[in-house]
Structure 1
Amino acid sequence: MIHIIPAIDLIDGQNVRLTKGDYQSKTMMKRTPAEAIQFYSQFEQVCRIHVVDLMGALKQEAVETSLITELKKQTQLPLQIGGGLRNKETIAKYDAAGIDYFIIGTRAITDIEWLKEVVSEYPNRIIVGMDAKEEDIYINGWTENSGITITDYLTQVESLELAGIIYTDINKDGMNQGPNFEKTAYINQLTRHIVIASGGIRDKADLNRLDKEGITQAVVGKASHQAAFWEGIQ
């Protein structure tokens, strides 16, 4: 059974969704962040909740720390937090607030030596956010091409004690067209790390297909806000 990780994306304390990472495409979700936390916590197949500080990702520093700290108090499920985690001080602050997993994108991609230090301090609690178009990994809120390919990057982090790697095909994100099944399965074969599918997951059929490809966890964004998605999911 594949585990679902529903997403809550934050801008100015509000629960939003973007399309292809475009901040101009912001759409408000019907549930507040607190309401979403309560809603997702009722499903057995939800293993944890994915919370992203979108302005933190853009500004390269955590913005929503106070709200995220409050959200953590409202569920027994683990939280994985991303957006603006660029230094050990921010991670330590979230750690003190009881946050379980830390998603690091840009700096994890561009500064491997720093990533090694962080992983040594928080073994099996760091999740790398690997956001890509084709083979190219993008950084800084998906606004810049890092110049690093997926294959080269995986080689560099293979020995680290990561909690997982979230692979997002940027061109699929928010498009309601399904994830990049083939690429996700390919990446899963390239690494020993847990590969967490993300971007474009629509329904239970998509989850079943990922499950057949050997994927054990999936972040679900826009679809997780729809009642129809949860029909038949326990």
Structure 2
Amino acid sequence: MNIVPAIDLIDGQNVRLSQGDYDKKTQMVRTPEEALKFYQSFESVTRIHVVDLMGALHQEVREENLIKNLRKISSLPLEIGGGLRSLEAIETYRDMGVEYFILGTRAIIDLPWLKDTVNKFPGKIFVGLDAKDNDIYVNGWTENTGIVIDEYLKEIEDLNLAGIIYTDINKDGMGQGPNFENTARINKLTRHKVVASGGVRNKADLDRLESLGIEEAIVGKASHTEAFWEGIR
């Protein structure tokens, strides 16, 4: 199981939200730079997941300077999300050495744009499916698109994606475990790599995801604790 620890940013701080609620913000002990250095000491960490939360909310890149610094000090690839609504924004990060890009809102509501972007960045785009039940949410998880996961997956099946990041919003930041059932179901619906996200607590959760055919998981709040890493190389 490959672990992708998360660093979520608001105003330069390393934070976590509960269920995507911006009013339920918890500041982490480590700074973004300290968290990055801590995570990359583990062999099972393959990438670092960085999200510009205010960028996601306000539909524009907000943490460009900090992310540029994180890229400079990271020995691992970064995947960046939050506010990526244009080719120019993606190119800005590409030019600073960022390897992967997470597209959410515009990728969901503007399929022609997504297809064009994937053609320009083949194998570098993760589509973020953020959902409550099967309804996909956008704009920092504040709006229900009315689009259901099953139908959307059919539209993107033939694209050359890096993968799909599935987050159950109701599980995110709650420490109750991921949505195992729907993660496994989505994995069977698509040929794309499905990355589990939201609610991972411990190695037991990782082992269960692996038994369901999931090879990668994004870990947020739990990854900031020493206890999570016990027994993990």
Same fold (TM over 0.5): yes
Q: How does 1:21-100 map onto structure 2 within 5 Å?
A: 21-100=20-99
Q: CA deviation at 1:98?
A: 0.2
Q: Which residue of 2 aligns with 1:151?
A: 150
Q: How does 1:1-234 map onto structure 2 within 5 Å?
A: 2-234=1-233
Q: CA deviation at 1:153?
A: 0.3
Q: CA deviation at 1:75?
A: 1.2
Q: CA deviation at 1:147?
A: 1.1
Secondary structure of 2:117's match? Answer: helix
Q: What are structure 1's unaligned runs of at least 5 residues? A: none
Q: What are structure 2's unaligned runs of at least 5 residues? A: none
Q: Which whole-Å deviations, capped at 9, do the CAs of 1:132-183 have from their partners, x for residues lacking one?
A: 0001000000000011000000000000000000000000000100000000
Q: How far apart in 1 are the matches of 2:145 and 2:105? A: 8
Q: Percent identity?
A: 65
Q: CA deviation at 1:76?
A: 1.2
Residue type at the aligned position of 1:88: L
Q: How far apart in 2 are the matches of 1:75 and 1:131? A: 27
Q: CA deviation at 1:107?
A: 0.3
Runs of 4+ residues deviating >6 angstroms = none
Q: Which whole-Å deviations, capped at 9, do the CAs of 1:66-98 have from their partners, x for residues lacking one?
A: 100100111110000000000000000000000
Secondary structure of 1:161's match? Answer: coil
Q: How far apart in 2 are the matches of 1:32 and 1:60? A: 24
| TM-score normalised by length of structure 2 | 1.00
Secondary structure of 2:154's match? Answer: helix
Q: CA deviation at 1:112?
A: 0.4
Secondary structure of 1:211's match? Answer: helix
